[in-house]
Structure 1
Amino acid sequence: MTTVPGMQLGRRSVLRGGLSVTAGMMLTPLAAGTSHAATRALYRGCVGEDVRALQKQLATKGYWCGTADGDFGELTQQATWAVQKQNGLTRDGVVGPLTRTALANGTLPKPVGGAGSRVEVHLRKQLFLVVRDGRTTRVLNTSTGNNQYYWLNGVRHLAVTPTGSWKVYSTYSKGWQWGPLGNLYRPMYYNSGWAVHGSAKIPPWPDSHGCSRLSTRAMDMIWSTGTMALGTRVTIATGA
């Protein structure tokens, strides 16, 4: 079993992302510069040159994680979840042997919309794809409709993300926009009230009322790179 410094063992263990993790255990980050006899498991809170190397590898493979700063923070966790989703691994955010192998040897999800440039949301794996000239160039973790019922203005609705293909028709660039179901960060609307937008909560499972959530920093990146300018095609598909 792979252990992590500071781990406290309980009674039940499960395999998560290539790391044997025990229910109730405590994971304590190692300080930067700490030497390792073998490759350690990496997870949110870890710092060091091995984290920086991981971040560079994620970026090279197409999993956006911001700047390679050696600090395993939110964006690196989001990218790790995306790798695990794409490769059918447990979505725990821990980079152990299985996740390392998947990152090194795996392939990016294939777009479903054919040639051309657009963004795609794949519902089955909960992934957001940037597609250029028919090829996936960037992948991010997303969270879409959770298929639960909710009430709005006395009307019962089902939280779904409809499949189909649309174009971005309206955007809001100034930060947080008020919405009846919660605030949306720099949203880009493509189908009536459905949008791709930033959120403070992007778990590795469906959790929204129907929109596609990304991290706020991912939305800043999308705005700064012109990834979803007005008229950009947005394809929502079940995916592989």
Structure 2
Amino acid sequence: MRIRTTSPTARAAAALSIAVAVLAVAGCGADPAKQADSTSQASSTPAPARTTPGLAGPSTTPSPTSTDLERVVGMTPLIKPSTSTSTSSTSTATASPTSTGSADLATSTEVLAVGSKGPGVQAAQTRLKELGYWIPTPDGEFGGSTKQAVWALQKAAGISRTGKIDATTRTALVRGAVPHPRTSSGRVIEIDIARQLLLAVDGGHLTAIINASSGNGETFTVKDKKTGKETKYVARTDRGNFSVYKEENGMHESTLELGSMWRPKYFNGGIAVHGSGSVPPHPASHGCVRVTNATMNWIWDSWGASVGTPVLVY
């Protein structure tokens, strides 16, 4: 069959349409995650129509523009930097009165860090869990999951992100520093870009407070494997109202060689919340929102966040 175009504009639109289709499934990637699923399954529904500025899913127009391409992959070309003026909440709530374990924490002067063990660590873990910070069952051993929870606490309290329970962090832990969710009804994933936190919210109440890492604002290059042409982008995570429109129950390898994504839940074109083997306390991704593999497993297997779950990014 011979395909005819009537103008250079039509030919350009057709070419861009192909690029959008490829990049939409490429994913933002991350450092290679440590978990894989050889029997991974994907489930999806059509992306919702764009009803809020910034909302991106597979294009619903016949002739996508360069702006559509930027939204699909969650990146902005260097010649057109982001102009978003959205801000995130800086308020921090104080939780319920301290428990007996927290009272013990208040009198301790021991600095706890990765490798620490004992009753002091278990008391800290119990308090973190009591406040809603995501952490496995307290076991008295300060490992990676505890460090992630401590980072989240430090972010919420607006203090140095040391990953250790020092005097300042201990005070925030005993006081019960937690962030305020912005939504008041339904199950919602809230992503606080400024503080790099993901909040699992149910009916306006915090179910889990999770350390997260989003787009780092740095430039990176995508190379067309056929033409060799290179295009530079800025890694960013757009703010706005979205919803989970597609999910993949397993490891997704970026077709743009940007890394691996564990059990991604897509909410804005190729941008997803996904598990990663590297979740620092600062922005580090190409645009996706990273959480640990263990946390992503909890989101999938315990909390839910099925297709259709609202995602608020601010």
TM-score range relative to shorter protein: 0.7 to 0.9
Residue 97 of structure 1 pairs with residue 167 of structure 2 = yes
Residue 217 of structure 1 pairs with residue 287 of structure 2 = no
- What whole-Å deviation, never above 9, does each CA across 1:91-121 have from its counterpart, x for those lacking one? 0111012111111213321122343320100
- What whole-Å deviation, never above 9, does each CA across 1:28-78 have from its counterpart, x for those lacking one? xxxxxxxxx953110111111211111111000110111211111111000
What RMSD over aligned residues (CA atoms) do the two structures have, in Å? 1.4
Partners of 2:295 and 2:302 lie apart in 1 by 11
Partners of 2:187 and 2:277 lie apart in 1 by 28
Partners of 1:98 and 1:203 lie apart in 2 by 20
Q: Quote the residue 1:65 is aligned against.
A: 135
Q: Quote the residue 2:243 is aligned against.
A: 167
Q: Give the percent of matched residue pairs that are identical in Structure 1 and Structure 2.
A: 38
- The one of 192, 201, 208 aligned to 1:138: 208
Note the residue ranges of structure 1 that are not aligned, 5 or more in a row: 1-36
Q: AA paired with 1:177?
A: H
- The one of 199, 204, 217 aligned to 2:276: 199
Q: AA paired with 1:49?
A: P
* Structure with the higher helix share, 1 or 2: 2
Partners of 1:187 and 1:213 lie apart in 2 by 9
1:132 to partner: Cα distance: 0.7
Preserved CA contact (<8 Å) 1:130 1:227: no
Preserved CA contact (<8 Å) 2:246 2:267: yes
Partners of 1:137 and 1:200 lie apart in 2 by 23
Q: Quote the residue 2:182 is aligned against.
A: 112
Q: Please say which of residues 141-150 and 103-112 is displaced more in the overlay.
A: 103-112
Structure 1 runs (4+) greater than 4 angstroms displaced: none
- The one of 114, 117, 127 aligned to 1:47: 117
Q: Quote the residue 1:229 is aligned against.
A: 306
1:86 to partner: Cα distance: 0.7
Residue 182 of structure 1 pairs with residue 259 of structure 2 = yes
Residue 123 of structure 1 pairs with residue 193 of structure 2 = yes
Partners of 1:213 and 1:202 lie apart in 2 by 6
Q: AA paired with 1:111?
A: P
Q: AA paired with 2:249?
A: S
Preserved CA contact (<8 Å) 1:87 1:106: no
The alignment's TM-score, normalised by the length of structure 2, stands at 0.62
Residue pairs, 1:142-161, within 5 angstroms: 142-153=212-223, 154-161=230-237
1:137 to partner: Cα distance: 2.4
Q: Quote the residue 1:5 is aligned against.
A: none
The alignment's TM-score, normalised by the length of structure 1, stands at 0.80
Q: Relative contact order (alpha carbons < 8 A, sep ≥ 6): 1 or 2 greater?
A: 2
- What whole-Å deviation, never above 9, does each CA across 1:181-220 have from its counterpart, x for those lacking one? 1110111101100000011111001111010000000001
Alpha-carbon distance change, 106 to 52 in structure 1, aligned in 2, over 3 angstroms: closer
Preserved CA contact (<8 Å) 1:108 1:136: no
Note the residue ranges of structure 2 that are not aligned, 5 or more in a row: 1-106, 224-229
